[in-house]
Amino acid sequence: MTDSLYAKTSNRPGLRANNESWAIGLCKQIPLYGIVSMIVIAGESKFMFERLLPHMRVNTIYDIDLQALKKRGIRGIITDLDNTLVGAKEPLATPELVRWLDDVRDSGFKVVIVSNNNRTRVSKFAEPLNLTYIHAARKPANKAFRKALSLLELPAEQTVVIGDQMMTDVLGGNRMGLQTILVNPVSPGDEGVMTRVNRRLEKIALARLRKKGLWPKEDSK
């Protein structure tokens, strides 16, 4: 587990707000999601690269210390679906995931799924679990994160975002002042075309982060 990668740099001023807002706005018009974030990153904005740094990294959701989150004041969880909770082609929750969600609820956390996938996919997964969800979220745009916070009835500082993509989950959560946890994708081979493109862009971003000393060089992600 790697903690506080983004926390070391998140308080620095001077973000290129105009370019970033334009890029995120483009997500709302066409389904590029995290891809357009690279338009800003390509402008060599150091601060934009830092927005891609999660507060914590773990292998899977099952490696998250729920009690440690509670001690840090976290009361709500915004989680991605595909390749975060289950593989992208897995239609329903696994028994292991059901047990984990029971632990999450028993620990007092509120949970909402925020996914860029369509209503059919997200509803069929979430409804049997009695989970609130937001589909077609267009992450990293702010709108879905704001809606999720409203559904949770919690402020950003009491909420964590869990996801497998830096370009959508981490970037979107960090922009909103949320804690962010990056997990490894459950089943990389099941990823769609747009996600695979995002992964290539992610590698470009990681190379830049390593060059700036913001990401471990020995890390294989």
Q: What percent of the chain has pLDDT over 70?
A: 76
In a domain, 219, yes or no: no
In a domain, 167, yes or no: yes
In a domain, 50, yes or no: yes
In a domain, 216, yes or no: no
CATH number assigned to the domain comprising residue 62 = 3.40.50.1000
Confidence (pTM):
0.81
In a domain, 139, yes or no: yes
Determine the structural domain holding residue 167 and report its residue range. 2-211
Average pLDDT of the chain? 83
In a domain, 220, yes or no: no
**Residue range 90-117, pLDDT digits in tens:** 999 999 999 999 999 999 999 999 999 9
What is the C-alpha separation between 47 and 87, in angstroms, rounded? 32
Domain count within the chain: 1
Which pLDDT score is estimated for 190?
A: 76
